[in-house]
Each structure stands twice: as C-alpha cells, then as structure tokens.
Amino acid sequence: MLGWLVNLAYLLAAVLFILGLKGLAHPRSAVRGNLLGALGMLLAVVVTLLDQRIIGYGTLIIGLVAGSGLGALLALTVKMTAMPQLVALFNGFGGGASVLVAGAALAETTSVEAGPPATFLVAVAASGIIGAVTFSGSLVAFAKLKEIVRGSLRFPGMQVLNAMLLLCAAGAGAWLVAEPANGWNFWSIVALASVLGLLLVLPIGGADMPVVIALLNSYSGLAAAATGFALQNSGLIIAGSLVGASGLILTGIMCRAMNRSLTNVLSGRVGGAGAGAASSGEEIYEGRVKASSAEEVALLFDVARRVVIVPGYGMAVAQAQHAVRDLCNLLEGRGIEVEFAIHPVAGRMPGHMNVLLAEANVPYDKLKELERANPSFPQTDVALVIGANDVVNPAAREEPQSPIAGMPILEVDKARTVVVVKRSLSPGFAGIPNALFAADHTLMLFGDGKQALLDLVAAVKEAA
Amino acid sequence: MEALVISLTVFVLAVFVGFEVITKVPPTLHTPLMSGSNAISGITLIGALVSAGTEHSTLSTALGLAAVIMATINVVGGFLVTHRMLAMFRRRD
C-alpha cells in the first residue's frame, strides 16, 4: 500500500481516538466513544498489515491471536474490585511493548552501513527509559495491589539513588548516540530504567496508588509517543500524547484531592513520618466511642428523610457494593432521599468507587463528587460511612499540624448523625486517629462491611 | 532535522488536544478513561507489527513478536474491559 495512503489512514485513526475520548465526556455517549476508539485501532492495524514490507504473516498471526486471547481472557474474567490491578498490568504491557519496538527498530538500523541519525537514537533512548520505567513500575504496582508484595520499601538516600539511576540511564543514552552499533548500550538503558521503575513504586503505599497508576498511565502514553518519534509515525505520536495528557490530568486531580505535591507522593512521605502524632488514638477514643447495632441504626433510618452514603476502599475489600445497593433501594422505597458522596481518592484508582457502584446498578446520577456533596451534609439526617477513614477525617480541616492538613475531605461530621461501618478503630493510610469516630453524634457499626450491610438491610426490613 | 520538527509539531498539538478533551471527562468515568486511554496507548502495536513482520533479522523479529503479544493484550483487553465497565453505567429509571 502506498505510504501516503497509510499515513492518511493513521490520521483517520487518530481522529477516531480523539472522538472516542470526547465521547467519554458523558456516560450516555461513552460506550459509543469507546467503540469509536476501538474502530480507530482496528483501522490502524489493518492498514499496517497491508504494508508491503511485511512478509512474515505467520509470526504476526501467532502474536495477534495469542495477545487477543490473553487480553480477552483478562478483560472478561476480571472482577470489578480487581480493576486497579488489571489497569496497572495493562499499563505495564503498553510500556513494555514500546521498549521492545524501539529495540527492534534499533536492531534493524544498526546493521545498515550508513548508521542511524542522532534524532532517531535519542528517541530510541527516550522510549527505552520511559517504557522500562513504566513496565517495571507497573508490575510492582500490580503486585502491590494484588497484595503479592506487602509493605513499603524505603531507605535513606533512596531519592539520591533514583536520581543517579536516571542520570546513568541518560548517560547510557548518550553512549547509544555516540556508538549505535554497540549492541549493549540500549539494553543497559533498559536495565537501569527498570531498576528505577522498581525503586520508584516500591515505597508507595495503598492510598497513594491512584496517583501512581495515573502517572504510569501517562508514562505508557509517553513511551508510545517516544517510539513514534523513533519510527516517525504520527499515529503513534498522536495516540501516545493523548494518553500522556490524560494520565497527567488524572495525576494532577489525584494530588490536589490529597493536598500533596507529586514529589511528596513519589517520595512516599506521609503520616507515618510524624510518628509522634501517629498515636494509637487512645486519648481521643477513650470512653467516647459508641458502638451501635444494626437495629439501632435501622431506627435512625426510620425517622430520616435524607441519607448520604460515603463509600471507601473498605467497601471494595468487603465486596459490599451489592448490599449497599439493596439498602439504598430499601430506603428509597420508604421515600427517603439517598445519595452517594464520592471522594476523588476513595479506593485504589481514580473512579474506583463509581465503577463498583455502577456494577451494583446504582444509577450514576446518584453519585455526587466532593464539591457538590459537601454543601448538602448539614441538611443530611444520616451520613453512612462504609470503609472510609482519612477522607472523612475532620483533622484535615481543624488541625494544621496533621499530616493530612488541608486535604479536601467529605464533611460528614456536619450531618445530624454519622454512622461509620468499619472493622475496628485502626487508623487509615495516613496513620492518624480520626476524631469523627469519637464525636457525640457518631455511631460505630463494627464488622465486615458486607455483613454489616446485610444485617442493616434485615434490620430495616424488620423495623417496618 | 526537518522530520523531527514535524514530529514535534504533531506531538505538541496533540498534547493540547488531549488536555482539552480529557478535562471534560467527569470523575465518575475516570476508571474507564484510564483503561480506555490505556488501550489507545497500545497503538505501539502498529510499530510492533512492522518490526515482527519484515523479518529483518532474528533479533528484530523476536523482539517484534513479543511486542505484538504485549500490545495486543493491551489493545484487546483494554477496549473490552472498558466496554464491560461502560455498559454498567445507568441513569436512574
């Protein structure tokens, strides 16, 4: 197929990608948007397969069939609660593929006498660095989310070591430009960057995962764009930069939602650092915490007119979303207004709670984001917090010394009564006690999220 | 050098388009946005197909094949899982 025709097809594919992402501006148009994106990809792949340079179709068919099978298997069998792990894994594959393509392109040119141009080599080096960081970093993120790897690795001088690794990788890049025929320089870039990716993600713990996944998402796009520079393929450059921009926007949103800078998140500094403040919270909780029962909470709902449910990662862990939906329907059946308030960093990835609630058939227009939810808490009779902690901690507002000071929170403490469903009084990710649990108008419903919700549903039914 | 400037032009403009389009995505769709944009970053597949298919050398073919598999997982899995998620989003009846 003619080169200009191929490029025209890539342009059309890029337009379809943009229209596809545009469709995601609203849940109504989102399904069609995603299909447009997939159509763009299909077009790009088919046109590429018609390229006359391609002779080995056997290899390609093996690769395409194997990849499609594995991809479909993962996509169709994953549980919605495991979505963060899957996205992390896919990010990694994207980065890995970019590294391999850059490596293959390099292998093709170095056997040519004339030697490749410096711009090509710089792009290959960039692709090697970004792609390898994405690959190894994403695998660590995957292992952490799947809880194969527990705890966080942190040691003094880690930042310095990371900076040195990056410098060395860049140095190996310069070596590649100077001596492209040497087969080892590209792979030393990849090795150094892979170690860097490991060390970047290892210190990062649970609640900071949304930031890391968003950032790796961005990197996977940038790696594709860098490969596009190497191949001078505008399809790759456009698609890659769209994804790069998308990931960066999400990273920014997540950081703002925690009132922390990206460097602060990446250095893994939170809460625990101020160990003095991170007491067990006994002096706060002592004698003030009121443990409640499902029956007592059901009585509260009896006289309530407006209930706001605040889900957190605990709801995902307990797989309680369906029980939450049942409770929501039950209360609505009694004429109670029920809404959900979603904190941007609730869960382990951006939008995690929304997907779980959508899976349980909760209509998306019941889900209110932070800015829209907060003004309504003073008019709320019961705020029901399920497995959330730091994102509802009033210390963010009231204690300037707190590690989460200034973080935007859901102001559930302004509701008439607060019910907190939680296993125990153990601190959240920030490692600090939560005065909300000891407040006069707070009732604690201790237990597993799902069981507590099932009990609550039964009690509400009985109270009728 | 001229080719680099053209590539750079495309890159910068596409980043701006990306920022404009994606700031309009509501928080409720942030997970599908990540998985969907992730599928799009599997565009590396078209580079991988050329690397694996031209059979330039054993090394480039092997690297290309591995890249084709990884990128296809990314593309097929990404679009499928995004579709699965988006199909669940409903308005109240």
Joined tokens for residue A332:
């609505």
Question: Does B35 sit within 8 Å of A86, measured CB to CB?
Answer: yes
pLDDT in tens, A237-265: 999 999 999 999 999 999 999 888 888 88
Nearest 5°: phi and psi at A383?
A: -105, 120
Q: What distance in Å separates residue A5's CA from the closest CA in chain B?
A: 15
Question: Does A108 sit within 8 Å of B60, measured CB to CB?
Answer: yes
Joined tokens for residue A337:
């207004």
In-domain check, residue A360: yes
In-domain check, residue A2: no
The one-letter code for the residue type at A289 is: V
Last residue of a domain, one of A231, A266, A301: A266
Query: Tell me, what CATH number does A307's domain have?
Result: 3.40.50.1220
In-domain check, residue A87: yes
Answer yes or no: do A300 and A376 share one domain: yes
How many Å apart are CA B27 and CA B46, to the nearest integer?
Answer: 31
In this prediction the ipTM stands at: 0.96
How many Å apart are CA B84 and CA A355, to the nearest integer?
Answer: 10
Catalytic residue among A51, A326, A381, A390: A390
Last residue of a domain, one of A234, A266, A298: A266
Answer yes or no: do A246 and A295 share one domain: no
Q: DSSP letter string over A230-291?
A: HHT-HHHHHHHHHHHHHHHHHHHHHHHHHT--HHHHHTT--GGGSTTT----HHHHTTT--B
In-domain check, residue A48: no
Answer yes or no: do A357 and A428 share one domain: yes
**A250: nearest Cα among B50, B83, B7, B37:** B37
Tokens 């799902």 belong to A450
How many Å apart are CA A129 and CA A123, to the nearest integer?
Answer: 10
> Looking at chain A, which residue has its C-alpha nearest residue B89?
A358
Answer yes or no: do A246 and A302 share one domain: no
**A89: nearest Cα among A150, A132, A34, A134:** A134
Give SS3 for A445: strand
Band of the pLDDT at A276, cuts 50, 70, 90? Answer: very low
For residue A311, what are the contacts with CB-CB under 8 A and spacing of at least 6? A321, A324, A340, A342, A346, A353, A356, A357, A386, A387, A388
pLDDT in tens, A433-448: 999 999 999 999 999 9
pLDDT in tens, A448-463: 999 999 999 999 998 7
- Determine contact: A108 vs chain B, CB below 8 A: yes
The answer to whether residues A363 and B91 touch, using CB atoms and an 8 Å cutoff, is yes
Choose among B26, B41, B66: nearest Cβ to A240. Answer: B41
In-domain check, residue A275: no
Answer yes or no: do A327 and A449 share one domain: yes
How many Å apart are CA A226 and CA A233, to the nearest integer?
Answer: 10
* Longest CA span, chain A: 85
In-domain check, residue A21: no
Answer yes or no: do A327 and A421 share one domain: yes
- Determine contact: A29 vs chain B, CB below 8 A: no
| A416, containing H or E segment | none
Question: Does B57 sit within 8 Å of A350, measured CB to CB?
Answer: no
In-domain check, residue A152: yes
- Mean pLDDT of all residues belonging to chain A: 90
Residue ranges of chain B with pLDDT lower than 50? none
Percentage of chain A beyond pLDDT 70 is 96
The answer to whether residues A368 and A400 touch, using CB atoms and an 8 Å cutoff, is no
> Looking at chain B, which residue has its C-alpha nearest residue A10?
B46
Answer yes or no: do A262 and A330 share one domain: no
Answer yes or no: do A197 and A236 share one domain: yes
What's the whole-number mean pLDDT along residues A183-212? 90
Give SS3 for A156: coil
Q: DSSP letter string over B29-43?
A: GHHHHHHHHHHHHTT
Last residue of a domain, one of A266, A296, A325: A266
Joined tokens for residue A12:
């059309």
The answer to whether residues A419 and A380 touch, using CB atoms and an 8 Å cutoff, is no
Answer yes or no: do A165 and A259 share one domain: yes
Strand ranges of the sheet holding A442-446, from the earlier edge strand across to the other edge:
A367-369, A337-342, A306-311, A382-386, A417-422, A442-446
pLDDT in tens, A114-166: 678 899 999 999 999 999 999 999 999 999 998 888 777 778 888 889 999 99
Choose among B4, B7, B67: nearest Cβ to A100. Answer: B67
Residue window 65-84, chain A: list those with CB within 8 Å of chain B: 66-68, 70-72, 74-76, 78, 80, 83
pLDDT in tens, A321-337: 999 999 999 999 999 99
Answer yes or no: do A385 and A453 share one domain: yes
Answer yes or no: do A231 and A317 share one domain: no
Q: What distance in Å separates residue A337's CA from the closest CA in chain B?
A: 13
For position A112, what pLDDT does the model report? 60
Which chain B residues are Cβ-neighbours of A20 within 8 angstroms? 36, 40
What's the whole-number mean pLDDT along residues A220-226? 96
Q: What distance in Å separates residue A220's CA from the closest CA in chain B?
A: 7
How many Å apart are CA A424 and CA B73, to the nearest integer?
Answer: 40
Which chain B residues are Cβ-neighbours of A27 within 8 angstroms? 26, 28-29, 86, 89, 91
**A306: nearest Cα among A340, A282, A278:** A340
- With vertex at residue A278, the alpha carbon angle to CA A277 and CA A280, rounded to the nearest 5 degrees, is 120
Answer yes or no: do A112 and A168 share one domain: yes
- A182, pLDDT greater than 90: no
Question: Is residue B92 exposed (0-12), middle (13-18) or buried (19+ Cβ within 10 Å)?
Answer: exposed
Q: Can you say whether the dihedral through the CA atoms of A446, A448, A450, A454 is positive or negative?
A: negative
In-domain check, residue A135: yes
The answer to whether residues A389 and A427 touch, using CB atoms and an 8 Å cutoff, is yes
- A1, pLDDT greater than 80: no
Task: Tally the domains of chain A.
Answer: 2
Annotation marks residue A390 as catalytic:
yes
How many Å apart are CA A102 and CA A228, to the nearest integer?
Answer: 9
- A271, pLDDT greater than 50: no
Which chain A residues are Cβ-neighbours of B44 within 8 angstroms? 94, 97-98, 101, 223-224, 227, 236
For position A277, what pLDDT does the model report? 47
pLDDT in tens, A86-123: 999 999 999 999 999 999 999 888 666 567 889 999 99
The answer to whether residues A360 and A321 touch, using CB atoms and an 8 Å cutoff, is yes
Range of the domain at A245: 78-266
pLDDT in tens, A41-86: 999 999 999 887 888 888 899 999 999 999 999 999 999 889 999 9
Spell out a b/e string for A22-43, using b for 16 or more CB atoms within 10 Å of the CB, else e: bbbbbbeebbebbbbbbbbbeb
Choose among A53, A90, A232: nearest Cβ to B50. Answer: A53
How many Å apart are CA A162 and CA A165, to the nearest integer?
Answer: 5
Band of the pLDDT at A347, cuts 50, 70, 90? Answer: confident
Residue window 162-201, chain A: list those with CB within 8 Å of chain B: none
